[in-house]
């Protein structure tokens, strides 16, 4: 397994182009299953999760071609049973269930595997599909959904901790081909849901209200092929903004939708980081002295759980006490002991991490446990004195396009060490 060797202490300068959003492209690729016609998706990030989704679509019978950042999918004839092992490995693959059911009236998909960031149930996805008239059976690790006809209805999708992003995507996709009108209440408001709705509407769907808590979908008989460019990745942008901030550098992020980053930018400003919007670019300047801040992760437009780990590094460097409270995935603190190896003083009390900031970080070998935790370790390594080796960076490659190359272009001393 590859690792990253980082020699810290260099302020990063220059420009970086943000790639297409992982969490937008995965459901959009699933949506291509809704039509037998060709779909062309642009601004597709070069990520292992995306390649994986391509393989899943192929295993269902779709023709998939990738040319640079453009992916073409034609789902002429489809099988309703996905490859058990492929699907089990990636959480995002659950969103093929809705489109397959809508198109083929029957779908059999393996339940997505467990994940280190906490319990990730799919009860809300299943509740939504049932409300559209599907019969659901769980057997031998598979979910089987059948519905000779999907019928629109009113669906409340709020869960224990609020809305569900992929659940909203799944139900929205299934409802596009249902008979009549579907109203999703307590829908996820994330920009990735809006991007999916825009693609579906380009395919001929009739969706209103995406981006707000009530989404109305008027079913249509069929969808056709369409083209779409994926939105920029707000989590990658936030990660690079934090990199610029903590290394005391000055970085221009290109291809950014700053309006998708308000909660993060607001907290960065509170922490003393200066930033400036320039059209689709964002200039971020590191603060000479960071200030402590308190953060609670919440559904959009709140502070994203996917930036919690990276923000914790900034807090560890700000002299004083910062508190970060995780409201979306309760067990998402796997990075805390690893950051501790670098010298960060963090203690976890229930859903909160208390960060005693200001202690200098020094390099050490650390182990990446999940995607965003890996990003946090890389950021910490960029600041730490000496050398940090981040092991198991396959997590990083799932969600950050060429992160080592992008960091090197900004002056970072980062090297990928191939694993045995």
Nearer to ligand UD1 by Cβ, of 75 and 164: the residue is 164
| Shortest CB 352 distance to ligand UD1, Å | 16
| Shortest CB 170 distance to ligand UD1, Å | 9
- The residues carrying an active-site annotation are 115
Nearer to ligand UD1 by Cβ, of 55 and 120: the residue is 120
| Shortest CB 35 distance to ligand UD1, Å | 22
Nearer to ligand UD1 by Cβ, of 24 and 64: the residue is 24
Nearer to ligand UD1 by Cβ, of 124 and 173: the residue is 124
Nearer to ligand UD1 by Cβ, of 71 and 384: the residue is 71
| Shortest CB 125 distance to ligand UD1, Å | 5
Q: Characterize 342-353 residue by residue with b for buried, 16 or more Cβ atoms within 10 angstroms of its Cβ, and e for exposed.
A: bbbebeeeebbb
CA–CA dist 363, 22 (Å, integer): 30
Nearer to ligand UD1 by Cβ, of 170 and 388: the residue is 170
CA–CA dist 94, 107 (Å, integer): 11
What radius of gyration do the chain's Cα atoms show?
21
- Sequence-distant (6+) residues with CB within 8 A of 396 are 4, 368, 371, 374, 375, 378, 390, 403
Nearer to ligand UD1 by Cβ, of 87 and 410: the residue is 87
Closest CA to 351 of 13, 137, 67, 118: 118
Binding residues vs ligand UD1 (CB under 6 A): 23, 26, 91-92, 119-125, 159-161, 164-167, 188, 192, 305-306, 328-329
Q: Positive or negative, the Cα torsion across 43, 47, 51, 52?
A: negative
Crossing angle of helices 234-246 and 371-383, rounded to 10°: 20
| Shortest CB 147 distance to ligand UD1, Å | 18
- What are residue 136's phi and psi, to 5 degrees? -115, 135
Beta-sheet pairing, 38-42 with 227-229: parallel
**Is 184:128 a contact under the CB 8 Å cutoff?**
yes
Beta-sheet pairing, 413-417 with 13-17: unpaired
CA–CA dist 4, 6 (Å, integer): 6
| Shortest CB 387 distance to ligand UD1, Å | 30
One DSSP character per residue, 11-38 reads PPEEEEE--B-HHHHHHHHHHGGG-SSE
| Shortest CB 320 distance to ligand UD1, Å | 28
CA–CA dist 270, 321 (Å, integer): 14
């Amino acid at each position: 397994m590859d690792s990253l060797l980082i020699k810290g202490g260099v302020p990063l300068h220059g420009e970086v182009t943000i790639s297409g959003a992982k969490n937008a492209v995965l459901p959009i690729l699933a949506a291509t299953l809704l039509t037998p016609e060709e779909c062309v998706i642009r601004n597709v990030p070069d990520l292992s999760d995306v390649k994986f989704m391509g393989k899943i679509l192929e295993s269902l019978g779709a023709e998939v071609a990738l040319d640079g950042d453009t992916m073409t999918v034609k789902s002429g004839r489809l099988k309703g049973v996905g490859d058990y092992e492929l699907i089990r490995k990636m959480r995002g693959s659950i969103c093929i269930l809705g489109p397959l059911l809508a198109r083929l009236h029957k779908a059999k998909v393996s339940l997505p595997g467990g994940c280190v960031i906490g319990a990730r149930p799919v009860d809300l996805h299943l509740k939504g599909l049932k409300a559209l008239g599907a019969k659901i059976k769980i057997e031998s690790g598979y979910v089987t959904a059948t519905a000779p006809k999907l019928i629109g209805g009113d669906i409340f999708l709020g869960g224990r901790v609020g809305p569900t992003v992929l659940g909203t995507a799944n139900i929205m996709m299934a409802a596009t081909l249902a008979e009549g009108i579907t109203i999703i209440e307590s829908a996820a408001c994330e920009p990735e849901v809006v991007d999916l709705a825009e693609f579906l509407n380009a395919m001929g769907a009739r969706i209103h209200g995406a981006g707000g808590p009530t989404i109305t979908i008027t079913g249509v008989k069929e969808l056709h092929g369409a083209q779409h460019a994926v939105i920029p990745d707000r989590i990658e942008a936030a990660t690079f903004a934090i990199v610029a901030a903590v290394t005391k550098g000055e970085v221009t992020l290109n291809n950014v939708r700053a309006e998708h980053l308000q909660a993060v930018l607001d907290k960065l400003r509170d922490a003393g980081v200066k930033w400036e919007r320039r059209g689709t670019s964002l200039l971020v300047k590191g603060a000479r002295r960071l200030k402590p801040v308190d953060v609670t992760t919440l559904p959009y437009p709140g502070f994203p759980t996917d930036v919690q780990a990276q923000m914790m590094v900034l807090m560890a460097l700000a002299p004083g006490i910062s508190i970060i409270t995780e409201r979306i995935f309760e067990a998402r603190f796997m990075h805390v002991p690893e950051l501790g190896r670098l010298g960060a003083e963090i203690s976890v009390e229930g859903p909160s991490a208390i960060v005693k900031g200001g202690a200098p970080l020094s390099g050490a070998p650390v182990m990446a446990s999940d995607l965003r935790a890996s990003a946090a370790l890389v950021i910490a390594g960029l600041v730490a004195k000496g050398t940090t080796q981040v092991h198991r960076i396959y997590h990083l490659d799932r969600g950050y396009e060429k992160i080592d190359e992008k960091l090197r272009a900004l002056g970072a001393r980062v090297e990928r060490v191939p694993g045995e």
